[in-house]
């Protein structure tokens, strides 16, 4: 036998497959573009029908829609602002309550669980009504009267169910980490707080991110509830435009325009959520 040779079977080098991240994000973009095109076609068809049904002496449907579109878009931006603020407040509170749900102290753990279950299973509109009508319109501090705007109360009302859902996301993310991580940290003399902030939460973050993004998309669509309690948002502006014009044929194009705005904003978030789940191998 020659030096350096062998008659034993040899396993050929294995070529690792390409990462799935690029394709994981490319597919949702393609699907989003196709679905968005369907909405655009439906919007164009409804606008054409409204143009045909327009009164001979009145303005065309396209002219009226272009006049109101900037105002509707401004209302839509207000919905986005409300969603940002509600999500930020709900996330801060929800993270604290979620960590309290895994506390070693039974009273703290049970109280956090009860608060989470109550607000998680309460109707969002009911919580919004309670926040709007139970919170004061103004309050005094050091002899100074400070107004409490309705939109701030709406942010609080929407942040309550968000906080409850974020709390459950945090609890589930922490519980999904294997117990061996806690045991290894105990063996290295880490405190529970050090284990949680330095070991457990960094690993749980990627598992919590997809459901957190999905919750934000749901919240954004739910911000139209604020129109029910008298706050001027995109839905309120659309309804006011229809009343001002008194043209029933414009109802479908205007509401489709509003739907198109929300769809173009929320659908990519939902698709990115699925892509992150595939990338991080997060199982439902």
Q: What is the pLDDT of residue 18?
A: 39
**E strand map for the chain:** 138-141, 144-147
In terms of pLDDT, which residue wins out, 56 or 28?
56
Answer whether residue 64 shows pLDDT above 60: yes
The per-residue pLDDT for range 216-225, each reduced to its tens digit, is 999 999 999 9
Q: How many CB atoms lie within 10 A of CB 211?
A: 20
Map residue 248 onto helix, strand or coil: helix
How far apart are the C-alpha atoms of 77 and 127, rounded to whole Å?
23
Answer whether residue 117 shows pLDDT above 50: yes
What's the Cα-to-Cα distance from 268 to each of 96, 103, 214, 216, 278, rounded to whole Å?
Answer: 29, 36, 11, 12, 15
User: What's the whole-model pTM score?
Assistant: 0.77
Cα 46 to the chain's mean position, in Å? 29
How far apart are the C-alpha atoms of 18 and 176, rounded to whole Å?
27
Query: What are the residue boundaries of the structural domains of the chain, listed by start?
Result: 21-280
Answer whether residue 105 shows pLDDT above 80: yes
Q: Is 150 exposed, middle or buried (0-12, 13-18, 19+ CB in 10 A)?
A: middle
- Residues above pLDDT 90, as percent of the chain: 35
Answer whether residue 3 shows pLDDT above 70: no
Tell me the CATH class for 21-280. mainly alpha
- 52: Cα within 13 Å, side-chain hemisphere: 5
In terms of pLDDT, which residue wins out, 42 or 248?
248
86-90, 134-138, 187-191: which is most confident: 86-90
């Amino acid at each position: 036998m020659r030096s350096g040779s062998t008659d034993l079977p040899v396993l050929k080098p294995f070529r690792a497959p390409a990462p799935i991240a690029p394709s994981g994000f490319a597919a949702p973009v393609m699907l989003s573009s196709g679905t968005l095109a369907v909405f655009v076609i439906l919007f164009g068809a409804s606008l054409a029908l409204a143009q045909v049904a327009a009164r001979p002496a009145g303005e065309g449907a396209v002219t009226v829609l272009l006049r109101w579109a900037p105002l509707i878009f401004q209302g839509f931006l207000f919905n986005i602002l409300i969603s940002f603020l509600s999500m930020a407040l709900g996330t801060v509170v929800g993270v604290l309550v979620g960590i309290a749900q895994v506390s070693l102290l039974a009273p703290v753990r049970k109280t956090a669980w009860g608060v989470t279950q109550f607000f998680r299973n309460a109707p969002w509109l009911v919580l919004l009504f309670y926040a709007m009508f139970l919170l004061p319109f103004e309050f005094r501090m050091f002899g100074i009267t400070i107004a409490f705007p309705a939109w701030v109360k709406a942010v609080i009302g929407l942040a309550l169910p968000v906080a409850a859902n974020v709390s459950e996301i945090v609890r589930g993310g922490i519980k999904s980490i294997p117990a061996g991580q806690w045991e290894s940290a105990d063996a290295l003399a880490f405190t529970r707080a050090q284990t949680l902030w330095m070991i457990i939460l960094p690993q749980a973050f990627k598992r919590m991110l997809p459901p957190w993004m999905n919750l934000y998309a749901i919240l954004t669509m739910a911000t139209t509830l604020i129109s029910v309690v008298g706050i001027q948002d995109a839905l309120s502006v659309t309804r006011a435009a229809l009343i001002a014009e008194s043209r029933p044929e414009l109802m479908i194009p205007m509401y489709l325009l509003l739907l198109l705005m929300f769809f173009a904003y929320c659908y990519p978030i939902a698709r990115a959520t699925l892509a992150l789940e595939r990338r991080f191998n997060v199982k439902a």
